[in-house]
Chains A and B, each alone.
Chain A
Amino acid sequence: GAGVSQTPSNKVTEKGKYVELRCDPISGHTALYWYRQSLGQGPEFLIYFQGTGAADDSGLPNDRFFAVRPEGSVSTLKIQRTERGDSAVYLCASSFSGDSYNEQFFGPGTRLTVL
């Protein structure tokens, strides 16, 4: 299919470890978003990319979280020194452009479990 894909679908790690979560957006979509969905909650905005640059990273909870999109397509969310509170489903979405009326298409998410 031509939808947003995320890998891995599940990731189990130990407290203190480093993890990387990958997002492949829909081809041609310039805007890319990361959200985090904790158990029983709705998704919460983390970061927005327009092209290669992070236009808004105000949702990143602290400096252990970092995301890149070096070629304006695939994005990687990186979490250092993971904590149990980081356990959640991490969702990626893309849209044709960053204009507010463009639909965001969501991937299936990566379920991160920190033991």
Chain B
Amino acid sequence: AQSVTQLGSHVSVSEGALVLLRCNYSSSVPPYLFWYVQYPNQGLQLLLKYTTGATLVKGINGFEAEFKKSETSFHLTKPSAHMSDAAEYFCAVGRNTGFQKLVFGTGTRLLVSP
């Protein structure tokens, strides 16, 4: 079985500040890990994913995440927040074989103030 915990339903930062969104997962098999962003009235958009290999993954819009197996974590970071980053962010875990049956966390809403 797989599950995801996202700590903090809301995170507030100032424009230009570091963004850190936390994600911890549980998986009985080596996981694939994903971060999606959801803007109002839009579909989920993939930010980045970890499958195998390098544990530091870079994605779109300056975001990156690091897979830490020992901590079962996949936290999302961005060095400097922009107003346009305000959205809902979802962490998801999936399998490394078969079709991709994603299990999502409950999401974290990122608020960016000027």
Contacts and interface: CB of A to CB of B under 8 A. Distances in A.
Interface of A: 3-4, 31, 35, 40-45, 48, 50, 55-56, 91, 93, 95, 98-109
A102 B99 CA distance: 9
Contacts of B49: 103
B98 A43 contact: no
Contacts of A50: 99
B90 to A, nearest CB: 5
Given A100-B97, A100-B98, A108 B90 contact: no
Nearest to A98: B99
Contacts of A56: 99, 101
Contact of A55 (B32, B42, B44, B99): B99
A50 B100 CA distance: 11
Majority secondary structure of chain B interface residues (helix, strand, loop or mixed): loop
Contacts, number: 65
B44 A48 contact: no
B106 A42 contact: yes
Given A56-B101, A103-B49, 13 more contacts: A42-B92, A44-B104, A45-B101, A45-B103, A50-B99, A93-B44, A98-B99, A99-B100, A102-B100, A103-B46, A104-B100, A104-B102, A106-B36
B46 A45 contact: no
A75 B4 CA distance: 28
B44 A43 contact: yes
Nearest to A42: B104
B105 A100 contact: no
Interface string B91-114: 010111111111111110000000
A49 to B, nearest CB: 10
Contact of A101 (B32, B101, B103, B107): B32
15 contacts: A3-B43, A42-B4, A42-B106, A48-B99, A91-B44, A98-B100, A99-B100, A100-B32, A100-B96, A100-B99, A105-B43, A106-B36, A106-B44, A106-B45, A108-B41
B77 interface: no
Contacts of A4: 43
A94 B92 CA distance: 16
